[in-house]
Amino acid sequence: MKVNCLPCQHSSGRTPFDKAKTLWASWSITSGNKSVWFGGDTGYRSVPYLPIEEDDYSEGHDYPICPAFRDIGELSGPFDLGLIPVGAYNPRHLLSPLHSNPYDSVNLFKDIKCNRAMAIHWGTWYLTEEPALEPRDMLKKALSRSGIAETGIFDTCEPGESREF
């Protein structure tokens, strides 16, 4: 098995005295002829304050994205499976650099070059302002908007459910 530490976009620190003292990472795992990318806890882009009803992916909104994900896809992809975060994203202007919403996650899926994906980092507890199960429902809309099937390619598990790949 080969495990690689790869970039992602987040911050570090657990106290007021250790902010940005360590790095944050995503990981790739390769064994035999299979590969997995584990995104862990990562943002995709930086979105400024917008009115709550405004879709930050609508026309005219072109915000900076982290280029590391396309680099990972080009240098290390494609991956058989991506474990991609989809939750803890509201309020967007504060959390978009740290956590991916489902629309960001679909872009991560494409940039990293995953053949399939499982959504992670959602539905466990209330960490941010969105309802705990909203990421699951929003992911289907994001997949549909990108022309990807709503099931079978980038899926979610119910809390406690297991999947075999």
In which domain, by residue range, is 129 found? 2-6+26-48+61-155
Helix H, strand E, coil C: the string for 35-95 is: EEEECCCCCCECCCCCCCCCCCCCCCCCCCECCHHHHHHHHHCCEEEEEEECCCCCCHHHH
Q: How many domains does the chain have?
A: 1
Quote the pTM value.
0.92
* Residue at 16 is within a domain: no
* Residue at 74 is within a domain: yes
pLDDT of residue 108: 98
Q: Are 90 and 116 in contact (CB under 8 A)?
A: no
Q: Which residues of 85-96 are buried (b: 16+ CB within 10 A; e: fewer)?
A: bbbbbbebeebb
Q: What is the mean pLDDT of each run of 10 residues along the chain (165 residues)?
A: 94 80 89 96 95 90 95 97 96 94 98 98 85 94 97 92 88
pLDDT of residue 89: 93
| Alpha-carbon gap, residue 35 to 32, rounded angstroms | 8
* Residue at 83 is within a domain: yes
From residue 49, give the alpha-carbon distance in Å to each of 46, 85, 111, 121, 164.
10, 22, 25, 23, 40
* Residue at 97 is within a domain: yes
pLDDT of residue 15: 83
Positive or negative CA dihedral for 58, 63, 67, 72? negative
* Residue at 113 is within a domain: yes
86: left (phi over 0), alpha (psi -120 to 50) or beta: alpha
